[in-house]
A and B are shown apart, each in its own frame.
Chain A
């Protein structure tokens, strides 16, 4: 699977992943959360932000099961799921990930999930979700 290439605007997020912390950006002025990271708050236009570590509990807002691979990395991995999880905390932002520990035909919208970390290379862990 393609791995994330950290950039100045996203480095703090990926550094969080390395220490298994799901960091959601939060406006330092008005407190609005946003994901994915962006330079400016769309609510109050402040360029100042902090990072808040999510507790990682939420529900499946939507999901798909990919059967047709469109990238060489997934050719041997179909079918696999992709889920959009809405976090309970951090302003209820949406996070794109995968649900593990559940058969694809057992996935449901609204299903409660919690954060789990998976080591993907020497320096990086990725956030995934498992049924509560």
Chain B
């Protein structure tokens, strides 16, 4: 039986602010959110008064309850938060599509604004999401079982999984580097990218300083300031709008049994995966296609090793073969079979918690990417790997 969501909703507008390195934005995070949302509505050829739904990340500080009155929005019928950070990237669009296809809302704007400021994600933080604080001299909760030993940052936590993948499958740092090199190469063709004009070779990756061995500097996503937004409406209504429709063919979200925030409590097999195998299975089922039908991939890079594991979870290679797969050129534009992160992604375009990857997916299907995959019909968008509950989308050309 086909999913009721299949192709029922479309992305009809995208909006972005300029992207810059962390701390360099000249406008507030909230102002950036307003700009991105207005640009997305404008791109769609719609009016603010057409919007009747908002979807945001639960960690969003420019919350819908502040944004809607600030932009003079009309009555809202659907307001929704997806738990977490980068894991929400596809999830908020999935939720918008569900609301639209169920008739709960007509036009939903999904958005993310991020100026990390004093609470940089790469620093030691106490707690999760929007309630996180810089970590002080004592720590309660589950972090009392990690921080006293010096385990603080996402790079450190995710490097533990990368090490395990290297141990079990022989994956190498140079293979992780292939992910970064591919992303940086794409960013050189994308003038919006923060790393435009800063190409990266594998030798530079291998010579870059260790952050948390095995992860080097270029294995880690950037920290950026910026905002972006996506407008979702019914595919029927989308026919009459300004842009070519980008069909939301399927969405999936969720988490594996035993996965969770307390990473040391996860079952052993999850340490070498992105925790997305069940999301992938349901996504392909509902899309009615498989990995062989995907033309281009936007996969959230928190860290390069997690991209390798996500590509395994989504069936582009066998479990444990992700290292040789990314090294083979399969992920490189334009000649690889599955080019990834054609804008430069989180590593080299900007880190806006992955919603920018949805926008790049839409660009590929409109035919307007700066690293356009010729004839791209289906784009896979993968939210934060190994960051449950995760999410993914299949977007399709009309």
Any A CB within 8 A of the CB of B48: no
Measured between alpha carbons, how far is A14 from B147 in the docked complex, in Å?
14
In the complex, identify which listed stretch (B152-160, B226-234, B365-373) lies at the interface while the others stay far away.
B152-160
Q: Which residues of B contact A65 (CB under 8 A)?
A: 210, 212-213
B152 touches A71 (CB 8 A): yes
- A4 CB → nearest B CB, Å: 4
A2 touches B147 (CB 8 A): yes
Q: Which residues of B contact A64 (CB under 8 A)?
A: 156, 159-160, 163, 212-215
Measured between alpha carbons, how far is A90 from B149 in the docked complex, in Å?
21
Q: Among the listed A2, A68, A98, which residue makes an inter-chain contact with B136, where contact means beta carbons less than 8 Å apart? A: A2
Given A2-B147, A4-B144: A67 in contact with B152 (beta carbons within 8 A): no
Given A5-B144, A36-B145, A62-B164: A74 in contact with B211 (beta carbons within 8 A): no
A36 touches B213 (CB 8 A): no
Any B CB within 8 A of the CB of A54: no
Measured between alpha carbons, how far is A110 from B144 in the docked complex, in Å?
25
Question: How many residues does chain A have at the interface if contact means C-beta atoms less than 8 Å apart?
Answer: 42
- A14 CB → nearest B CB, Å: 8
- B175 CB → nearest A CB, Å: 17
Any B CB within 8 A of the CB of A70: yes
Q: Among the listed A68, A109, A120, which residue makes an inter-chain contact with B209, where contact means beta carbons less than 8 Å apart? A: A68
Closest to A67 in B: B210
Q: Which residues of B contact A63 (CB under 8 A)?
A: 160, 163
Q: Which residues of A contact B146 (CB under 8 A)?
A: 96
Any B CB within 8 A of the CB of A40: no
Closest 6 CB pairs of A and B: A4-B144, A71-B124, A65-B213, A5-B140, A67-B210, A109-B167
Contacts beyond the supplied A71-B152, A82-B149: 9 A-B pairs with Cβ under 8 Å = A2-B138, A2-B147, A3-B137, A4-B139, A42-B258, A70-B123, A70-B156, A96-B151, A109-B167
B interface list, Cβ under 8 A from A: 122-124, 135-142, 144-153, 155-156, 159-161, 163-164, 167, 209-215, 258, 262, 264-265, 268, 271
